[in-house]
Amino acid sequence: MPLFSHRSSASSGSAGSAPLPSFYSAKPVKPSKPFSAFSSTRIPWPILVFSLLCLLIGLAGTLFALSAIRRNQPLPIFRCGTSEDTFRSFYSSLDSGKLGDDSNKGLVDRPKLLGFVGIQTGFESGERRSALRSTWFPSDPDGLLRLEQATGLGFRFVIGKSKDVKKMAMLEKEIEKYRDFMLIDVEEEYLKLPYKTLAFFKAAFKLFEADYYVKADDDIYLRPDRLATLLAKERSYSMTYIGCMKKGPVITDPKLKWYEKSGHLIGNEYFLHAYGPIYVLSAEVVASLAAARNDSLRMFNNEDVTIGSWMLAMNVHHEDNRAICDPRCTPTSIAVWDIPRCSGLCNPASKLKELHKIGMCSKSPTLPPDDI
């Protein structure tokens, strides 16, 4: 029997009965509302909003980080001013010891080379570059590095810039694939070739410490091993200009090819200068060009004449070498091109491949220095 019994009779309030506690009542008791632990600790609305905002920001940051990791990383560029060497940047991101000094401390500011060769190219020369990469010019960064280590010569395609967005986009894809370009800050235009050549020598001097700097066009067949042998020769002149030397009449008729606007300053005949497809300047000569202000040097219409005029003013030693302008492959040829029919190879994209199949061009041995 329960301790307390609720009765509805009148005897429940009779004398002698103990009063019920205040929390008991004869009346039916309404059930109380269930107790809630949150009723006394409710979070203020501003704090809740702030917490949700932080959570969203954190999630957004995590998603951005994941997408950045999955996205293709931009190609790092080894820069010196406005000049860029995509090849060295590629190796700096992979293995700094490969292109560094002997102590494996990473990339040096100006790697030391016997010679640096800049293959001048343009936006319309994609087929030529493709033909070169399938012949004497390596088609991948490792091959380019092996050639540099074997000969002491560094090779890059040298190209300026364009206002055409599509051309620049196509160039970026090619850079990403091959990593064999030097980019210089000059407008890519045929009439501005003297300016591009000066920009090339300045950029090459800043990026590389070479004994010689070689300007070459993208429409010649070159033997890098023989070029290295030529450059390794002992010379008594520190300021040297090596090339296939020529003279010729000054063209003053604007309707003719090779027209020279400033021909009246030269006279009837050009001074001695090297053909344009390939020539070599020693380090001391290039150092002088690198130190010169752009507007302090006279620019002629023709790039080879322009360089020749600077060499005449600088009192350099002219070294004539016919092996770098050979019209056919021989046991001594260094550079082959269709002189004098074309300024380079005629139909270079196909001719480069034809020459490479000839054993005399691609497989004949390198000669001792005294034989070149």
Alpha helices in the chain (DSSP H): 45-70, 86-94, 126-133, 141-151, 165-178, 193-207, 224-231, 283-291, 303-314, 348-356, 359-362
Query: Can you read off the two tokens belonging to residue 11?
Result: 């005897």
Mean pLDDT for 274-292 is 97
Mean pLDDT for 82-93 is 75
**Burial class of 81 by CB neighbour count within 10 A (0 to 12, 13 to 18, 19+):** exposed
Domain membership flag for residue 222:
yes
Return the minimum-mean-pLDDT range out of 86-95, 128-137, 152-161, 287-296: 86-95
Pairing of strands 335-336, 112-120: unpaired
- Number of domains composing the chain: 1
CATH of residue 246: 3.90.550.50
Domain membership flag for residue 51:
no
Whether 210 contacts 192, CB under 8 Å = no
Choose between 29 and 211: higher pLDDT.
Answer: 211
Cα gap 335→32, rounded to integer Å: 104
Domain membership flag for residue 366:
no
Q: Helix, strand, coil proportions of the chain in percent (round to 5)?
A: 40, 20, 40
Return the minimum-mean-pLDDT range out of 33-47, 250-264, 281-295, 341-355: 33-47
- The predicted model scores a pTM of 0.76
Q: Which residue range(s) make up the domain with 163?
A: 82-89+110-359
For position 371, what pLDDT does the model report? Answer: 57
User: Which residues lie across from 326 on neighbouring strands?
Assistant: 336
Mean pLDDT of the chain: 84
Cα gap 276→273, rounded to integer Å: 9
Residues written for the chain: 372
Per-residue pLDDT of 204-260, as tens digits, reads 999 999 999 999 999 999 999 999 999 999 999 999 999 999 999 999 999 988 899
| DSSP run (H or E) holding 215 | strand 209-217
Domain membership flag for residue 53:
no
User: Which residues lie across from 113 on neighbouring strands?
Assistant: 210
Give Dmax over CA atoms of the chain in angstroms. Answer: 150
Domain membership flag for residue 354:
yes
Query: Can you read off the two tokens belonging to residue 70?
Result: 């999955």
Domain membership flag for residue 22:
no
> DSSP state, 111?
-
How confident is residue 17, by pLDDT bands cut at 50, 70 and 90? very low
Domain membership flag for residue 170:
yes
Cα gap 369→227, rounded to integer Å: 10
For position 20, what pLDDT does the model report? Answer: 43
| DSSP run (H or E) holding 317 | strand 317-320
For position 84, what pLDDT does the model report? Answer: 84
Domain membership flag for residue 211:
yes
For position 93, what pLDDT does the model report? Answer: 61
